[in-house]
Structure 1
Amino acid sequence: EPLSIDEAFLDLAGTERLHGMPPALVLARFAQTVEKELGITVSAGLSYCKFLAKIASDFRKPRGFSVIGEAEAPSFLAGQPVTLIWGVGKALAATLERDGIRTIAQLQRMERGELMRRYGVMGDRLYRLSRGEDDRRVDPGGDAKSVSAETTFDNDIGSLAELVPVLRGLSEKVSARLKKSGTAGRTVVLKLKTQDFKLRTRNRQLGDPTRLADRIFQTGLDLLRRETDGTKFRLLGIGVSDLSDDGKADPPDLVDVQSRKRAMAETAIDELRDKFGRKAVETGYTFGKGRAANPPEPLED
């Protein structure tokens, strides 16, 4: 089941006799084959449910392989922050913090009824996921819900000047994938992972769908600036969700009169890259290494 452009769920339940080996070995062999034949590394997480499989896959990237068993799940989760739970964003995390709830262990000690009285439907999710209960099935017929790109750094980075060119490059990758597939996304999603493995995701919904690298990057940059407070990050990602056909993407902006010019410049760059390769044209953001935290507007130089 596709989760994003480079992530998917794979249901290996009951396949041990088919493959002649347990799921852990199947995944390890699969990752080894991909690396050998395609030259790219794979990170895999194995567990008994989607929630924990996704968490396991995020550990020790790149080329990571982690397993979370059902028996150990409650004790493993107990030591984690509440932000590890799907759906606990900045607003809910702040509410939980005001209520004195910071760790999943605290949620595990609370009754379902109490959590639902406090937090409504989300309270039921907090109750179940804090105990490792997730009965969602893998649906191989589902379409990708988002298009994204991310990278894990060799060394943790906290400087906006260093993060900006990376964000620009990732935005261009996402844009290229959207254009190739004829899709666009209305919500831009910024993903960050701190050096202590805490995940931050920030979203912003646009007025209309986009497939342009410039819009994805500018929106992501505004979100990123709010997070660069001295914290060092080991992972940075950018993507779009709320996908649709690109027929209504990026209409003329009557407020930002320069948007049409930037869109035309981006189209020209795409054509040159298609003909001569990706490195044929680069923006000031990605050309070279050191970058200012507030470089000039893209595609206008």
Structure 2
Amino acid sequence: MTSLCRDCLHHAEAAFRSCPSCGSGRVVTHAELLALSIAHVDCDAFFASVEKRDDPSLRGKPVLIGGGRRGVVAAACYVARTRGVRSAMPMFKALEACPDAVVIKPNMAKYATCARQLRAMMEALTPLVQPLSIDEAVLDLSGTEALHRAPPAVTLARFALAVEREVGVTVSIGLASNRLLAKIAAGRDKPRGFAVIGAEARALLASEPVRLLPGIGPAAAQRLARAGIVTLGQLGSLDAKAALRFGEDGPALAARARGEDNRPVDPVRETKSISAETTFDADLATAEALEAPLWRLCERLARRLAEKGFAAGGVVLKLKTADFASRTRAARLPTPSSVPETLFAAIRPLLAREVDGTAFRLIGIGAAPLVPALGADAGDLADPDAPRRAARWKAVEALRAKFGEGVLGAGRGLRPKR
């Protein structure tokens, strides 16, 4: 066995519960600790942690990140989680479970800035960093021991301490031989966790429910349960022929249940779509009422496209009715664009066709397919004004960056007075 102190980084070929060097109890012990190199890094309640970092008065209080009572919880701190609150829970249910929670509207610009800082710190460890979301990534630290003068486990523990010191949030780390096991490990010891899964993976997973496996949702779990399969051990025991009863992915599903995963860490992960949406405080049914938030979403989408170096080859409209039924409509753009005016002009007719007296609780807009920003909004004979619209939008963004978001805005995006 090898043990590592996560506070002073002392490590030795021995099993100890408290560090013989500094006395800390934050010790991780595993036979393969210094041999494994695939890590899953997951920020702990990221949005809420950033808000608590910036406002010390929130420490110790239940904090929820999200919209009004009709929205959903984007993030819940661990204090709120002890009351039964979870991400994606309707806000009104979260407040029933935790009525004293402090609710904060998301500040995505602030979270993105923090995420970029974290990403830079990860990329200083290895070039093989694959972002999975704004607050988690998988890293391959194979071959980095000479660079960091330490095995990957020690490098990761040092990284976690640096994140707390320099960024002010905490992370949980899973270390394993592949991406699947690293992800599962990262969720076993949150928050501020460091868990390792090695050769014992199959035995460790055998008694776990099938829902533990990423990709198995409620419907898939029910289908497996009807066949008498409720644990990963039962699923993993199926041979390839028997697993085919669950579709073409059945054999691969059984392999994952045994902890097998040959996916590489790919830093060039393709982004397929970029979107933005909002849930209303009260249902909206008229075109006039819906177009204002739609315009604001077009501006938000244009900003996200610019940040990622993309333009929209088409637009997608998403609506959710008061009874939670979803409607999705799409249209291609004549030429790629990342300018709000062009996006709005393309999606506005889609909205007009859906305004039939139905009350909507949510509206969203997406860009798909995505194309490189280079060459977008260049203008042609059919649309010679495209370059001017692009220049105008860049000027607006420059003013907002200098003087604040509210310095300039289009009338169509104004919120109605109450």
TM score, norm. by length of structure 2: 0.41
The residue aligned with 1:114 is: 242
1:13/1:105 Cα in 2 relative to 1: closer, same or farther (>3 Å)? same
Mapped to 2, the partners of 1:92 and 1:134 lie a distance apart of 20
Q: Secondary structure at the match of 1:252?
A: helix
Report the RMSD for the aligned CA atoms in angstroms: 4.6
Whichever of the two has the greater Rg, that structure is 2
Unaligned runs of 5+ in 1: 150-160, 162-171, 187-207, 227-244, 282-297
Mapped to 2, the partners of 1:83 and 1:255 lie a distance apart of 38
1:5/1:104 Cα in 2 relative to 1: closer, same or farther (>3 Å)? closer
Does the 8 Å CA contact 1:3/1:145 hold for their aligned counterparts?
no
The residue aligned with 1:56 is: 185
The residue aligned with 1:94 is: 222
Q: Which amino acid aligns with 1:256?
A: L
The residue aligned with 1:2 is: 130
Aligned residues: 214
Does the 8 Å CA contact 1:73/1:131 hold for their aligned counterparts?
yes
Residue 36 in 1 paired to residue 165 in 2? yes
Does the 8 Å CA contact 1:5/1:148 hold for their aligned counterparts?
no
Residue 19 in 1 paired to residue 148 in 2? yes
Mapped to 2, the partners of 1:224 and 1:37 lie a distance apart of 45
Residue 135 in 1 paired to residue 135 in 2? no
The alpha-carbon deviation at position 224 of structure 1 amounts to: 12
Q: Secondary structure at the match of 1:94?
A: helix
Residues 75-125 of structure 1: per-residue CA shift (max 9 Å, x gap):
322232222323323432332132232221221232222012x02321111
1:21/1:185 Cα in 2 relative to 1: closer, same or farther (>3 Å)? farther
Q: Secondary structure at the match of 1:43?
A: strand
1:51/1:17 Cα in 2 relative to 1: closer, same or farther (>3 Å)? same
Does the 8 Å CA contact 2:153/2:175 hold for their aligned counterparts?
yes
Aligned ranges 1:101-180 → 2 under 5 Å: 101-116=229-244, 118-143=245-270, 177-180=304-307
Residue 45 in 1 paired to residue 135 in 2? no
Q: Secondary structure at the match of 1:45?
A: strand
Mapped to 2, the partners of 1:222 and 1:57 lie a distance apart of 37
Mapped to 2, the partners of 1:140 and 1:257 lie a distance apart of 41
Answer with 5-14 or 128-137: which moved more: 5-14
Does the 8 Å CA contact 2:315/2:347 hold for their aligned counterparts?
no
Q: Which amino acid aligns with 2:219?
A: A
Residue 247 in 1 paired to residue 337 in 2? yes
Aligned ranges 1:78-89 → 2 under 5 Å: 78-89=206-217
Mapped to 2, the partners of 1:4 and 1:32 lie a distance apart of 22
Q: Which amino acid aligns with 2:249?
A: M
Unaligned runs of 5+ in 2: 1-128, 282-298, 326-334, 355-363, 366-392
Q: Secondary structure at the match of 2:337?
A: helix
1:255/1:279 Cα in 2 relative to 1: closer, same or farther (>3 Å)? closer
Does the 8 Å CA contact 2:188/2:195 hold for their aligned counterparts?
no
Q: Percent same amino acid at aligned positions?
A: 38
Q: Which amino acid aligns with 2:352?
A: V
Mapped to 1, the partners of 2:400 and 2:351 lie a distance apart of 26
Does the 8 Å CA contact 1:16/1:23 hold for their aligned counterparts?
yes
1:112/1:32 Cα in 2 relative to 1: closer, same or farther (>3 Å)? same
The residue aligned with 1:205 is: none
The structure showing larger relative contact order (alpha-carbon pairs under 8 Å, at least 6 residues apart) is 1
The alpha-carbon deviation at position 131 of structure 1 amounts to: 0.7
Mapped to 2, the partners of 1:86 and 1:140 lie a distance apart of 20
1:89/1:109 Cα in 2 relative to 1: closer, same or farther (>3 Å)? same
The alpha-carbon deviation at position 279 of structure 1 amounts to: 8.6
1:99/1:224 Cα in 2 relative to 1: closer, same or farther (>3 Å)? farther
Residues 116-143 of structure 1: per-residue CA shift (max 9 Å, x gap):
2x02321111111011111122223444
Mapped to 1, the partners of 2:403 and 2:153 lie a distance apart of 43
The residue aligned with 1:257 is: 352
Mapped to 2, the partners of 1:89 and 1:179 lie a distance apart of 34
